[in-house]
Structure 1
């Protein structure tokens, strides 16, 4: 069977995300905490697009039975090592037999942190996820709003994108991609069409702070951490395309762009998202 473009992309790029999993968790910690607070992690919990296991770890700490699904083998490997009590599977949650992961019992809670926006057919995918849920089970996830002022998609990245010929194209509204669920009415419709009820889409803004302990009693400014995220998510392909000399020149320009946003010695920015809840 031919591998889908989605699977090819994450099979190739997931290694970078896996290598920087701790940094992503640091930057996205408020989103993780919001999901944990809203979801009431009890019973058997499915994490869709579990990445390197932040929500699996939280579910295990709450005494729940965590199950994680992701299409990146590299990230599943990290998640399995991080949360050995979790059941993990490399699979597309939109098509896999998820109920089988509970030996037929079904899930009590379904969660996701930025892991549900890439389904080719979101109605079919959420219906498939719902088929693995117990009656009354809850769904809780965070996704991105489609806003130009979401700096996480621009800071240091626009410099690199400007060097690509042809320039990268942005998916149309509703197409698979980070901002696929940017329209809250679209989210409500697709969840209703896939069998979910009591859908609530709340505005959720959190701050990402990149600075971390520098090991000497102080904090880094976060610039290199931001560059590490960029390199992990898009750097490998672009470096191979441009060659090392051009790549290192671009990185210096990207570093300068990022440093211009450091305030009082710390790099941080707000992220505008939706916190979505529903019930089966």
Structure 2
């Protein structure tokens, strides 16, 4: 499998994502709804979900009557998606290089969708070209990807306290490097899709609210759990516990908890999210 670095990253991170599935589903519900509105899955459609995670889009598209196929690079994610959407075909593969119709035989896909799953390829042009090869003429591509770090507290609120204690710190990714912010540059998305042969590209700014208080709590523990289960949280624990001990680690976690409490809005942790919603078509 290509893209070994991301394969390893998501193999380690899948457990935290699966454990917090309900939190992420609630946080990203507005993005999910926007993707579904633009893709319009329906009876008679065959839908491919790229980076399907635990199966949120698969479940929604199946409920609309579509035949659904998911591809994810992490076995942990795929296992959760199969359990959640038993009628789905879910394959563990790198969508950049895999013969998708060979792994999931059937007619070409009428819809290719993704919620935060397409930013991790080593060669994005090759990946989008591979997705287009599996798509029917006239098929629609719809995906969401993050805009900049500065617009998205999701990637710093609370976790920055842990990041500041790391030594050595992770290297800052170069602009466009595989990772959550790979497509922060709108013009780069347009260039990549054009080079991969997709047409009728439209890129919209979409703003929404990340509401960690979705279940009636203040959301602090929900946010804390996702931080500790994420990449920075796992790295910080592995690096810092041997240095400061369990008591020191618990004290640091309490510091993060206090920082989150200082950002409550009307009694709950809420902050903005900023993504690009991208649509394109496979030319007929």
Shorter-chain TM-score: which interval? over 0.9
Partner of 1:232: 229
Tell me how far apart the structure 1 counterparts of residues 217 and 25 of structure 2 sit (CA, whole Å). 17
Write the mapping of 1:60-139 to structure 2, written as runs, cut at 5 A: 60-139=62-141
Q: Is the 8 A contact 2:3 2:94 kept in 1?
A: no
The more displaced of 263-272 and 43-52 is: 263-272
CA 1:2–1:33 in structure 2 vs 1: closer, same or farther (change >3 Å)? closer
CA contact (8 A) 1:151 1:269 kept: yes
Structure 1 211/119 Cα, relative in aligned 2: closer, same or farther at 3 Å? same
Larger displacement relative to structure 2 (255-264 or 44-53): 255-264
RMSD over aligned CA atoms reads 1.4
Partner of 2:34: 34
Structure 1: gaps spanning 5 or more residues: 214-218
Q: Which moved more, 1:251-260 or 1:129-138?
A: 251-260
Describe the shift of the 1:220–1:164 C-alpha distance in structure 2 as closer, same or farther (beyond 3 A). Answer: same
- Tell me how far apart the structure 1 counterparts of residues 9 and 236 of structure 2 sit (CA, whole Å): 14
Distance 1:2 1:45 in 2: 23
CA distance in 1: counterparts of 2:249 and 2:68, whole angstroms: 41
Verify the 8 A CA contact 2:146 2:183 in the aligned structure 1: yes
The offset of 1:188, in angstroms, is: 0.1
- TM-score if structure 1 supplies the norm length? 0.95
Query: Which residue is equivalent to 2:240?
Result: 242
CA distance in 2: counterparts of 1:212 and 1:31, whole angstroms: 15
Q: CA deviation at 1:130?
A: 0.7
1:148 Cα shift? 0.9
Aligned 1:103-182 pairs, distance under 5 A: 103-182=105-184
Match of 1:201 in 2: 203
Aligned to 1:216: none
Change (3 A) 1:2 1:80: closer
| Aligned-partner Cα distance in 2 for 1:104–1:78 | 23
TM-score (norm 2): 0.93
Q: The residue matched to 1:267 in structure 2 has which SS? A: strand
Shift of 1:51: 0.4
CA distance in 2, matches of 1:178, 1:78: 21
Note the C-alpha offset of 1:96. 1.0
Matches within 5 A, 1:183-194: 183-194=185-196
Query: CA shift at 1:10, angstroms?
Result: 1.0
Report if aligned partners of 1:45, 1:107 keep a CA contact under 8 Å in 2.
yes
Structure 1 residue 44 displacement after superposition: 0.5
Q: Deviations over 1:9-32 (max 9, x none)?
A: 111221111111111111111110
* Structure-2 separation of matches of 1:245 and 1:126: 48
Q: How does 1:261-276 map to 2 (within 5 A)?
A: 261-276=263-278
